[in-house]
Structure 1
Amino acid sequence: MKVLLKGARVLDPSRGLDGILDVLIDGERITLIGEDIKAEDAKVIDLSGLLVVPGLVDMHVHLRDPGLEYKEDIESGAKSAAAGGFTAIACMPNTVPPVDNAAMVSYIASKAERVGLSRVFPIGCISKGREGRELAEMGEMAMAGAVAFSDDGNCVSDASLMRRALMYAGDFGKVVIDHCEDPTLSAGGVMNEGYVSTLLGLPGIPRSAEEVMVARDVILAKETGAPVHIAHVSTKGSVEIIRRAKAEGIPVTCEVAPHHLVLTEDAVMGYNTNAKVNPPLRTEEDVEALIEGLKDGTIDAIVSDHAPHSMDEKDVEFDKAAFGISGLETSLGLVLTFLVGAGKLSLEEVVEKMSANPARILKIEGGALKEGALADITVIDLKKKWAVESAKFFSKGKNTPFEGWELKGKAVMTMVGGRIVYSEKQY
């Protein structure tokens, strides 16, 4: 079936494309982009006044499936992703049991294919059981479809194991994604170590817990020549370390989550467990450094770090509450409102860091609007004002610190392989 998207502003920073254009889709792929395209046999969708961009890619999502489906499952997570404008997501392996073998990778891939919404790319464990003792079977998982390796939620504390992981993953053309947190420094901490933690009487997690491991991973990447990706960077020091590494040509990339760009540790005041996240919310100085890192290219990607939990796991004492924010459906709106809307990042920079760059890091198809490319497309209404209502989330996770926030800019249609998988209007 042919579909003709008419009259939208078509933006693809990877090609320097920005104009009022039409997009013709035949089956799963784009066949033509241009002005005033005629196609009598195509279904025409008028997108005048809207923005068409390459499908958004979120390379850091927790789907909780298998084993923790009460928090989220592949179907609810894929629905949430589509509603957030994401045509592709990569899911972390901290499930029960962990995704540390080819059978588990195949389970996720096959279930996601049956669901048929946003594309779901499995990430395999670095170590067996995510225990940090013995390497998992990376080669077998790569062959089964794993796009990267991570023990996310746990740091690979053993430097020797991390070194071998980088070398093996590099041999298979895959990137290692590390959750940088020295457990001897962060042990028992529940929020950023500083004035607010002291005021609230809560044990803190120092910046050094992250930065020590970032520095170590950079050194190992330099020595092995294998790429490493630093997950959810949260501190000024981490940004500075990565900036220097990139200047030296070391193969390191990194990401940041919207909550680390728009919130500080002050959000924890009142013992707000929905603001409890790992790494923790930091200070205004750190937020400014993260935004500067996005602007100068030090930080490659913006990710949701979608971490859904049941409310029973959040509606408890702060030190007992689970870490994490349900972020797939708020990420784009937060970035458009508080970064683009505030003049801190350009629209082109945001699209690049939420589409082309994650696809490039994971080496998956996507991130571009061009003839022959997959018709994975996100349609955005930059003028749409909306309020965050977690009760309306497609995700099972309603844990958000942004409840009631007024945002401007929203994905209103998501297409995967030429199929509309989410739309706020009937076409």
Structure 2
Amino acid sequence: MNILIKSATIIDPKSDFHNTIQDILIEKGQITKIDSSIKNPKNYQEIILENLHISQGWFDSSVSFGEPGFEERETIKNGLKTAASSGFTAVAVNANTNPVIDTNSDIAFLKSKAQNHAVTLLPIGALTISSKGTDMAELFDMGTAGAVAFYDYHKPISNPNLMKIALQYASNFNGLVCSFPQENKIAGHGVMNEHITSTKLGLKGIPALAEELQVARDLFLLEYTGGKLHIATISTAKSVELIREAKSKKLDVTCSVAVHNLYFTDEALGDFNTHFKVLPPLRTQTDVDALIEAVKDGTIDMVTTDHNPIDVEQKKVEFDRADYGTIGLESAFGALQNCFTTKKTIDILTRGKSRFGLENTPINVGNTANMTLFNPDAKSKFTRDRIISKSKNAIFENETLKGIVYGIVANNQLVLNP
């Protein structure tokens, strides 16, 4: 791939050209020249786009596709296409498939399905066999095959001794153990946040306590065992406080938050729209404010789309019976820009890579080209006809979002949106 990108504003604090407008010459997937004006004697394809900005390629730490087993929700091929069109050059893919990704051959399958694609697929192996929470899966073998972390997606480990052993065992090979922060016995049959809105709607609530007890337990276990822990998708102000305290103790813990938990509150469920049924549930404005502040100060290490396609048969039902989950890749950039400045949004979308074994590739001469192309100022309504995902369960449907993605340059490929 040989291209010449014209008049692009570079947003990359690690680049020598941060905050400047430059031409960028890319030959065979490598940045060979950056200058204010570059001629094109070899007649390479020129990329000229309105208000073009570029940054390092974006990363998402929690994406679900469905294949194998739930191809009606999403396939790996279309999922990676969706990720590319949304500006992501790498995605960590969860193990919530059928069968569950819990062996080295399963990891090899995912990697083989993603070969030769512009987007890098990072497989997450299940922490326990079949994600049943009973017996630890083959963590070392999966790590050897390419698993970047171990996580039973949306399934908390109820047995504290199992979590203790997993942290101890994975530390032998620097493995990253992930935990879903919910104590199911407290959550019970709740379907949304336990608060005033749940009482008004007559829906059973999930108390913030259900999350905070699990976070506190896991942090105590981490302090005892050592190892590396990632707490996925926290949603309460108290969880932020607990993790902030743990970091002050120098514990090796990171955490993420789903972008919709930064944007909506539980009041959005007023009309029983099942698109808003997510896990962890949407919380209160107090929680949202604390989460946003924690993203800004770095207590929350990364923001994820928590992209989870659900087919219409599991969503277009009574609220109590609907599955949890929303797609989020395609709306993430615009939603974040409604909450943060452009520079902060790009920081959010590019951090967290090293935790999952990815290297940052600054936009400098000599480096491999791994970048996202976007216009931060354009506004548009996120409508159903714009959704590339096979499933259409979009929590941001009909929201006015700020910024559009033009495409990506990664793995010696150029992907541009029509």
Q: Which range, TM-score by smaller chain?
A: over 0.9
Q: What does residue 165 of structure 1 align with?
A: 166
Are the equivalent residues in 2 in contact too, given 1:414–1:423 (CA < 8 A)?
no
Please report how far the alpha carbon of residue 303 of structure 1 lies from its aligned counterpart in structure 2 after TM superposition. Answer: 0.8
Are the equivalent residues in 2 in contact too, given 1:22–1:36 (CA < 8 A)?
yes
Q: What does residue 347 of structure 2 align with?
A: 352
Aligned AA (1:196): T
CA distance in 2, matches of 1:160, 1:372: 48
Aligned AA (1:361): R
Are the equivalent residues in 1 in contact too, given 2:174–2:227 (CA < 8 A)?
no
Please report how far the alpha carbon of residue 48 of structure 1 lies from its aligned counterpart in structure 2 after TM superposition. Answer: 5.9
1:339 aligns with 2:333: no
Are the equivalent residues in 2 in contact too, given 1:390–1:399 (CA < 8 A)?
no
Root-mean-square deviation (CA), in Å? 1.6
Secondary structure in structure 1 of the residue aligned to 2:185: helix
Please report how far the alpha carbon of residue 339 of structure 1 lies from its aligned counterpart in structure 2 after TM superposition. Answer: 1.2
Please report how far the alpha carbon of residue 38 of structure 1 lies from its aligned counterpart in structure 2 after TM superposition. Answer: 4.4
CA distance in 1, matches of 2:62, 2:368: 21
Secondary structure in structure 2 of the residue aligned to 1:13: coil
**Pick from 105, 108, 127: which aligns with 2:107?**
105
**1:305-326, CA deviations, whole angstroms, 9 ceiling, x for partnerless residues?**
0011111211111000010111
Please give the residue correspondences for 1:51-62 in structure 2 after superposition, counting only pairs within 5 Å.
51-62=53-64
**1:34-66, CA deviations, whole angstroms, 9 ceiling, x for partnerless residues?**
433445334332346211001111110001111
Aligned AA (1:209): A
Secondary structure in structure 1 of the residue aligned to 2:215: helix
Q: What does residue 92 of structure 1 align with?
A: 94
Are the equivalent residues in 2 in contact too, given 1:234–1:286 (CA < 8 A)?
yes
Compare 146-155 and 395-404 and name the one that shifted more. 395-404
Are the equivalent residues in 2 in contact too, given 1:8–1:48 (CA < 8 A)?
no
Secondary structure in structure 2 of the residue aligned to 1:281: coil
Are the equivalent residues in 2 in contact too, given 1:58–1:89 (CA < 8 A)?
yes
Aligned AA (1:54): Q
Q: What does residue 406 of structure 1 align with?
A: 400
CA distance in 2, matches of 1:108, 1:13: 33
CA distance in 1, matches of 2:253, 2:243: 7
CA distance in 2, matches of 1:251, 1:37: 45
Please give the residue correspondences for 1:19-418 in structure 2 after superposition, counting only pairs within 5 Å.
19-38=20-39, 40-41=41-42, 42-47=44-49, 49-113=51-115, 116-336=117-337, 338-340=338-340, 346-355=341-350, 357-366=351-360, 368-418=362-412
Compare 175-184 and 358-367 and name the one that shifted more. 358-367
Unaligned runs of 5+ in 2: none
Please report how far the alpha carbon of residue 26 of structure 1 lies from its aligned counterpart in structure 2 after TM superposition. Answer: 2.0
Secondary structure in structure 2 of the residue aligned to 1:329: helix
Are the equivalent residues in 2 in contact too, given 1:174–1:362 (CA < 8 A)?
no
Aligned AA (1:191): M
Please report how far the alpha carbon of residue 97 of structure 1 lies from its aligned counterpart in structure 2 after TM superposition. Answer: 0.8
CA distance in 2, matches of 1:317, 1:126: 32
Q: What does residue 343 of structure 1 align with?
A: none
Are the equivalent residues in 1 in contact too, given 2:139–2:170 (CA < 8 A)?
yes
Secondary structure in structure 1 of the residue aligned to 2:330: coil
Are the equivalent residues in 1 in contact too, given 2:2–2:29 (CA < 8 A)?
no
CA distance in 2, matches of 1:367, 1:156: 35
CA distance in 1, matches of 2:170, 2:121: 20
CA distance in 2, matches of 1:151, 1:174: 15
Secondary structure in structure 1 of the residue aligned to 2:19: strand
**1:389-410, CA deviations, whole angstroms, 9 ceiling, x for partnerless residues?**
2233111120123222221201
Please report how far the alpha carbon of residue 163 of structure 1 lies from its aligned counterpart in structure 2 after TM superposition. Answer: 1.5
CA distance in 1, matches of 2:215, 2:198: 23
Instruction: Report the TM-score, using the length of structure 2 for normalisation.
Output: 0.95
Please report how far the alpha carbon of residue 108 of structure 1 lies from its aligned counterpart in structure 2 after TM superposition. Answer: 0.7
Compare 22-31 and 297-306 and name the one that shifted more. 22-31
CA distance in 2, matches of 1:102, 1:226: 22
Q: How many residues align?
A: 416
Compare 192-201 and 10-19 and name the one that shifted more. 10-19
Instruction: Report the TM-score, using the length of structure 1 for normalisation.
Output: 0.93
**1:202-237, CA deviations, whole angstroms, 9 ceiling, x for partnerless residues?**
111111111111112222222222121111111001
Are the equivalent residues in 2 in contact too, given 1:391–1:398 (CA < 8 A)?
no
CA distance in 1, matches of 2:85, 2:154: 25
Secondary structure in structure 1 of the residue aligned to 2:397: coil
Unaligned runs of 5+ in 1: 341-345
**1:15-37, CA deviations, whole angstroms, 9 ceiling, x for partnerless residues?**
47221122222223323334334
Are the equivalent residues in 2 in contact too, given 1:232–1:254 (CA < 8 A)?
yes
Please report how far the alpha carbon of residue 67 of structure 1 lies from its aligned counterpart in structure 2 after TM superposition. Answer: 0.4
